[in-house]
Structure 1
Amino acid sequence: MKPINIKEKHLLFTKTWHPHRIALVDNMQVILAKIKGEFVWHSHDNEDELFQVLKGTLYMQFRDRTEVVKEGEIIVVPKGVEHNPCTKNDEEVHLLLFEKLDTEHTGNVEHERTQTEYPEI
C-alpha cells in the first residue's frame, strides 16, 4: 500500500494503444494508456469502461455521435455500446482506465492493435 504517481508511471512507456496496469481493486484493474490517432470500433458485451483524460483531448466516437472528453474529465462507456476512441491533429492523449480484469482490449474484434496482456508498471 503505497501511493502511485501517475505522471511518473506514464514516463515509463512510450507505445501508444498499449495499456499498462498500475493497480488492482477487487476484480477491477486500473490502467494507463497513451493513445494517438484512431483505434478500432468495438464493444464489450459484459463490461463497462471508465476513461479519464489525464492529458489532452479524447474524442469518443459512438455510431450516432462523438463526445469530446477534455483533460480532467471522465466518460463511462456502458457494456454493449460500440465505440472508437481517437485523438485529432496527431495529439498524444494520456488516459487512466478502470475496467474489470477480464475485459478484452478490443472486445470480440481481432485487430492488429489488440493487446492480450497488459504489463504491470
Structure 2
Amino acid sequence: MQHKAINLNEKFARISDLWSPRVVAELNDYQFKLVKLQGEFVWHEHPDTDEVFLVIEGSMAIRLPDGEVSLAAGEMFVVPRGVRHQPYAQQVCQVMLVEPRGVVNTGDSGGEMTAPNDIWI
C-alpha cells in the first residue's frame, strides 16, 4: 500500500462541474467529498445523517428554515440530520463535504441537480 498525502488543490483543479461532489478519501463509513458551488442549490434534507460543509476557498451560505449561516474559507458548519437547507454561493466556492458513504447530494428532493454518487478523483 502506498501512503501519500492528498493535495486538495490538485483535486479541485480536476473538478469542472458545479454541484457535483467527488470523493477523495474515506474514514470508516464516511466519505470526504470535494465540490465546487456557485448559484443556488435545491432545498433538501438528509433524514438519516448530519452533513458537514467545510469551506476551503471562497464563501457560501446555507439557508435554514429559521435563518442563514454564512461561511468563509476556513469555516465549517454541521447541518443536523433532518434539517431542510439550501446551500448557495455568489461566486465559485470550493467546499469539502463529510458525510456517510451513499448519501445523495439532493437528499430527499431528487431532481435534475442530483449528482452521480461515489465518484472518486
Structure-to-structure mapping, 1:23-34, within 5 angstroms:
23-34=25-36
Quick one: percent identity of the two aligned structures? Answer: 34
Q: 1:116 to 1:13 in 2, by over 3 A?
A: closer
Per the normalisation by structure 2, the TM-score is: 0.94
Structure-to-structure mapping, 1:1-121, within 5 angstroms:
1-88=3-90, 91-121=91-121
Q: Distance in 1 between matches of 2:108 and 2:118?
A: 17
Q: Distance in 2 between matches of 1:11 and 1:44?
A: 28
* 5+ long unaligned stretches in structure 2: none
Contact 1:18 1:118 in 2 (8 A): no
Letter in 1 for 2:48: N
Aligned residue pairs total 119
Partner of 1:37: helix, strand, or coil? strand
Q: Distance in 2 between matches of 1:33 and 1:105?
A: 10
Q: Distance in 2 between matches of 1:66 and 1:27?
A: 29
Structure 1 stretches of at least 4 aligned residues deviating more than 4 Å after TM superposition: none
* 5+ long unaligned stretches in structure 1: none
CA RMSD of aligned residues (A): 0.9
